[in-house]
Structures are given as structure tokens and as C-alpha cells.
Amino acid sequence: MVLSASSVYSYQNLGDSYAVVRRQLMWVGLGLPAAWVASRVPLRLIRSLAFPGYLVSLLLLGATAMVGVEVNGNTNWLAVGPIQIQPSEIAKLSLIIWAAHIYAHKERRLDSLHHVLIPVVPGMMLATTLVVVGHDLGTALVFFAIMIGMLWVVGAPTRLFLLALLGVSTVALALAATDPERLARITNFADPFKDYAGTGWQPAHGLYAMASGGVFGEGIGHSQQKWGRLPEAHTDFIFAVLGEELGLVGTLLVLALFLTIAFAIIRVARQTTEPFVRYASFGVVIWLLGQMIINVGMVLAVLPVIGIPLPLVSYGGSSLVPTLAALGMVIGFARREPAAARALAQRRRARSAGLSARR
């Protein structure tokens, strides 16, 4: 889908239809080894990196807020030599590991509201504030979703969620009111044709793409909206191109794959006896599903356009590599479960017996 959605953009801007997809393949080449390593790193090493990872993420987010590169009104990119990275994507995984480590350490004291809140909530709010300083409201909402999800997993009281929702809604509206472009996006998202030539251009053409796809789509490579009409066709709005080329069947397949991943991770979290594994696994599910829901909601014009990529599908190494590393980490959790370990040992014994028999 990255190849199909980016081919026109690549040719028009870079003179090579395969320029963007080659970069994505490079990130895949980095992400898959990262996932393999993450699947084999011992739990004690992952937990030992919780606080260093959190501190490094705060430093990167702070540097981005001060000297970051502005893209589409958001200062959420940091130039590192010839490449640009998005530290907030790395911070999502770091925050999950950090919060899971703290909650696992406090496992027997989580019946106290103080231990549920401190220091996870202030720590996550600090990271969210640094993202908001860069005007990246979309990532701030993902951070908030991760925080709320972690609080729910550890059994925080219901009244806390109501207060958090009220507070975040107030802050989000205040931030929107202070930025005319963001306010226009939020007020016009329900009817993008109200300001078709302005803030409604992207969501309107996203709807055109989804509507023209029908049940089975126009076919791979046959999207019309990617010919300059749909901004961010290979990044934030790749789901619209997917709907146009693969139709309702393709979009439902992608959603089913996300739900399959979520089901598998939740199964790992429910069967484990290790608190850190349980909290970290639920955190990864909340991250991936929350970001997917926000992205699909943007494309379907049921949520404002706030610049969130579709995990594992959109172009971008800053998103792909941490996501693959997170999935690799969960695979490592699954491999260490007693039943999986016994099955693996049995396969190894059977393989050894087969080799001995052939000799």
C-alpha cells in the first residue's frame, strides 16, 4: 500500500516512483531485526531500561519542543544529521515500559489511589505537555489514551476517569481555540464540504476515495485521489487509498488483522503470571488500537484531522520501528509463558530425535 499510495508523489517530487517505498523498505530492514532482538531480551533487562528510556524520551521530547522541525503546523520532528525522527513515536513504547515497570513493582499496593497515581500520572502528563508545546494534539491524545488504559488495567476508580475526561476535554478545547487552523479543523470535521477548498479539502477527498472504492475497490494502483488531490496519501490518509483500491473488503480485512493482533496480545496478558508482562502487553494493545481508531476516524470524517499515522501501514520509520519492536517484545512475552516454553522444548527434542535417527 505504501508503494501504491506514494508512487505519484514520489515521481512528481523526487523523480522516482519507488523513492518512498525504498525508504520504507530500509525502515523495515531496521524494524524486523529490532523486533527479533526485542523478542529475545530478558525481562530483567527490559525493566532495567525503563527509567533510562523514560528519561531519554523526555530529553528528546524537550529538544523537539525547543529546536524541532515544524511540519504541517506541528513541531514534532527532530533533525538528526541528514534524517528526521519523531521522538514522540519512540516515547510511546518508553512510556508503556516505564509505567508497566512501576505498576509491577507496586503490585501489592495498587489498592491505594496514591500508589496508582504517583508517579505514573505526573510522569505521563509531563511527556504529554512537552508534546502539546509542539502543537501535536494528535500524539497528545494517544499519550492520554495510553495513560487512561494503564489506569484502567490497574483498577483505578471510575470517578478518576470521569475527572480525567472532563479535564482533557477542557484542555483540548482551549488548545483548539488558541489555534485558528486547528479550531477550523475541529469545527468542520463533521461536514468537510462546508469549507471544501480549505480545511475540508483533505477529509472530503478521503471520503471521495472511500466512496469510490465500493465493495471490492478499483484495484491496486488505480486510485485517483492520490494524483495530488489527497494530501498525505501515503502517511496519515493511506487508509483512504486502501479503501479506494481494495474497497470495503480490503478495509475490513485490515481492521480484522488489527483485532487479531489485539486478541493475541490480550491472550498473552490474561494468561501470564508476571505483572510487568500483563501491564506492558495491555499498554501495547491500547497504543495500537487507540491510534488505529483515531486514524480511521479521521479518514471517515467522524474525528478531526489531527495527524496520526495508521500503525504498521502508513509510511514512516519513526512509527514503524518502535511498533515492530513493541510487537517483538510481546512475542518474547508469549515465548516465555510456561505452555509455550514446554511446546518449544518438545519441538526441539523431536527435532533432535529426528536428526539422531537420520544419522
Q: Which amino acid is at 256?
A: A
Task: List beta partners, residue 70.
Answer: 75
Q: Give pLDDT tens digits for 201-221.
A: 999 999 999 999 999 999 999
User: What is d(CA 88, CA 57) in angstroms, rounded to the nearest whole number?
Assistant: 8
Task: List beta partners, residue 69.
Answer: 77
User: What is d(CA 157, CA 146) in angstroms, rounded to the nearest whole number?
Assistant: 16
Q: Mean pLDDT, to the nearest integer, of 289-296?
A: 95
Among residues 300, 236, 257, the alpha carbon closest in space to that of 2 is found at: 236
Q: Mean pLDDT, to the nearest integer, of 100-119?
A: 93
Q: Give pLDDT tens digits for 122-166.
A: 999 999 999 988 888 889 889 999 999 999 999 888 888 888 878
Domain that residue 23 falls in: 2-358
User: What is d(CA 100, CA 23) in angstroms, rounded to the nearest whole number?
Assistant: 33
Sequence-distant (≥ 6) Cβ neighbours of residue 83 within 8 angstroms: none
pLDDT higher than threshold 90 for residue 319: yes
pLDDT at residue 177, as a whole number: 65
Instruction: Return the higher-pLDDT residue of 19 and 167.
Output: 19
Burial of 105 (0-12, 13-18, 19+ CB in 10 A): middle
Instruction: State the maximum Cα–Cα separation within the chain, in Å, rounded to a whole number.
Output: 76
Q: Give pLDDT tens digits for 26-67.
A: 999 999 999 999 999 999 999 999 999 999 999 999 999 898
13 phi and psi angles, rounded to 5 deg: -105, -25
Q: Mean pLDDT, to the nearest integer, of 283-302?
A: 94
CB 233 within 8 A of CB 225: yes
Average pLDDT over all residues of the chain: 90
pLDDT at residue 158, as a whole number: 83
Q: What is the pTM of this model?
A: 0.91
239 phi and psi angles, rounded to 5 deg: -65, -30
CA distances from 315 to 71, 222, 233, 257, 294 (A): 15, 19, 9, 18, 17
pLDDT above 90 covers a percentage of the chain that reads: 66
Instruction: Return the higher-pLDDT residue of 195 and 110.
Output: 110
CB 154 within 8 A of CB 110: yes
User: How many Cβ atoms sit within 10 Å of the Cβ of residue 248?
Assistant: 14
pLDDT at residue 9, as a whole number: 93
pLDDT higher than threshold 70 for residue 234: yes
Q: How confident is the model at residue 175 (pLDDT cuts 50, 70, 90)?
A: low
Sequence-distant (≥ 6) Cβ neighbours of residue 112 within 8 angstroms: none
Q: Mean pLDDT, to the nearest integer, of 96-117?
A: 94
pLDDT at residue 355, as a whole number: 67
Q: Mean pLDDT, to the nearest integer, of 2-15?
A: 94
Helices marked H in the chain — which ranges? 2-14, 19-38, 43-48, 50-67, 87-105, 113-117, 120-133, 137-153, 158-177, 180-188, 201-213, 238-271, 275-299, 317-336, 338-358
Q: Mean pLDDT, to the nearest integer, of 284-305?
A: 93
CB 230 within 8 A of CB 241: yes
pLDDT at residue 352, as a whole number: 76
Count structural domains, the chain.
1
Instruction: Return the higher-pLDDT residue of 353 and 242.
Output: 242
CA dihedral sign, ordered 261, 263, 264, 269: positive
Q: How confident is the model at residue 349 (pLDDT cuts 50, 70, 90)?
A: confident
User: What is d(CA 85, CA 63) in angstroms, rounded to the nearest whole number?
Assistant: 12
Q: Mean pLDDT, to the nearest integer, of 260-287?
A: 95
**CA 236 from chain center: how many Å?**
12
pLDDT higher than threshold 80 for residue 14: yes
pLDDT higher than threshold 70 for residue 257: yes
Q: Mean pLDDT, to the nearest integer, of 93-111?
A: 95
Instruction: Return the higher-pLDDT residue of 157 and 320.
Output: 320
**Local structure of 272: helix, strand or coil:** coil
pLDDT at residue 197, as a whole number: 82
